[in-house]
Structure 1
């Protein structure tokens, strides 16, 4: 890794959230990392919504590229950005995330040790007063505690905070664009990455702050869509040996009791209730997608 090489291409898919995107770009400006060693590629998942005025203030502060595509979903948007990237490593985050100042430096430090791996960082809920956002992040935290308990044999990362070699991304074909929603495409990518013989490493010092504002209705919709994505994930990965077995019942028991170890007082009861809501919504989304597939 030489200083004259563009090391990182940060890829940010976005759709009609200019204020969120502005906060995201502001966090890139605050990165404690040489400006000539990374670029930022914003992929506007719409040809009807202009982002020129949103990114204009950052053009002189960042090596910034704006791409646009007809609305096709985040998987396609990430691929669009990745295929235009010039960096040795691709780094993915979302427009509602702000990154820690040492984000890229910590990624570089990890790539020096594991240059061929998929590296996933930690996501922190930036809206602790929003019970639905808190529950949503705690669900992800539980999955990380389960799938990434051995940090150098990790299995699952969300795509708002992971990085990997650009050439390996191209080799396995990028994100599966069958996933039109923001639900399941990162899970399938991680599964295919491991199935292809690569390794994944969890690096909790690589931090982003997630500002995903949720209401009960939005929380239900999010989890319902996760269920839809889960059905598609099962269909795509059914031939892979690693996915031929069901989760042990302890997985679900530990999931439903997880909030009691993470929160206190009435909050842990509320979040535990939302965990039950989430599992109901996921099951409903999976069955809905299954019925749709049967009718086609």
Structure 2
């Protein structure tokens, strides 16, 4: 297949982020691609910023009422001219050889869909580097977010995900879910028999959140998403997904036992020492390693609370999906 790439980016109230992302796309070693920006009902519009790049990129900009990132990706895909769609989050910076890496891989091993990993750029703040560690480390996520040695079958995620036009036409694109729409899309692709692959060299620099408060909200919603996914795809729930909830319960249990014994807390201390040493090895910074312990605690505890809340509301009480911290559902 002659690859014609369409990069589709949903956008909500992040003009500074889209500027950085477009600047990185201008530096690609292979410039044969189009970019489609779908502004999802933002109050802080980015049309002027996008216009300033139209002489350097093949660029299309659309503004639509707010409906969430999944439906905005579908909106962009419906208007794309290419035959292979790549979805990127607005808080990503794209390395210069990204497009070339994707094309080289797909030329050697054609697949219907792919995903790529994420990394922390040297320009990221210490908090962003710590959050990146907690979201990708073996000690926290088990390496399921795009590492080379994932412990479960790799599911492409929407911050760095691509699939053919045929996939979009047969699946209908992203479902109108509140959370977890990207993993749902990956599962449905696999059920349809489409081939998927991880492209290790097609990584992006993913900023995620810049404060721990924002990060708490993000991972809390991810915990909710896991039960939403279970309702649609019961086989998707793995033993690993219970770890954050078990961690949260163990922390609460340990604190309740503090008047009598500190023994449970010693296990937590050893666990976070391992995280500190691993984060120090990866980032070569004591400060980032300290922040990585805090980020890892927030990630596991908040995800666990969201997971348990969703179990209670959706599985025990039998209620439907419920509101997130941010009603627009952007991660």
Q: TM-score, normalised by structure 2?
A: 0.75
Partners in 2 of 1:221 and 1:129 — Cα distance?
20
Aligned equivalent of 1:192:
188
Aligned equivalent of 1:145:
143
Aligned equivalent of 2:131:
136
Partners in 1 of 2:54 and 2:25 — Cα distance?
12
Aligned equivalent of 2:5:
8
Aligned equivalent of 2:54:
59
Aligned equivalent of 2:170:
171
Alignment CA distance shift 1:137-1:199 (3 Å): farther
Of the candidates 94, 106, 112, which is equivalent to residue 111 of structure 1?
106
Aligned equivalent of 1:43:
38
Partners in 2 of 1:120 and 1:156 — Cα distance?
7
Q: Does residue 82 of structure 1 match 2:89?
A: no
Aligned equivalent of 1:160:
159
Give 5+ residue unaligned stretches, structure 2.
248-270, 321-331
In the TM superposition, what whole-angstrom CA distance separates every residue of 1:43-98 from its partner, at most 9, and x where no partner exists? Answer: 00016554321211112221111112211111111111111111111011111212
Alignment CA distance shift 1:228-1:127 (3 Å): farther
Alignment CA distance shift 1:106-1:286 (3 Å): same
Give 5+ residue unaligned stretches, structure 1.
none
RMSD: 2.9
Partners in 1 of 2:144 and 2:130 — Cα distance?
17
Alignment CA distance shift 1:132-1:192 (3 Å): farther
How far apart are residue 17 of structure 1 and its match? Answer: 0.9
Of the candidates 263, 278, 282, which is equivalent to residue 261 of structure 1?
278
Q: TM-score, normalised by structure 1?
A: 0.83
Partners in 1 of 2:70 and 2:198 — Cα distance?
22
Of the candidates 16, 30, 35, which is equivalent to residue 33 of structure 1?
30
Count of aligned pairs? 283
- Whichever of the two has the greater Rg, that structure is 2
Q: Does residue 18 of structure 1 match 2:15?
A: yes
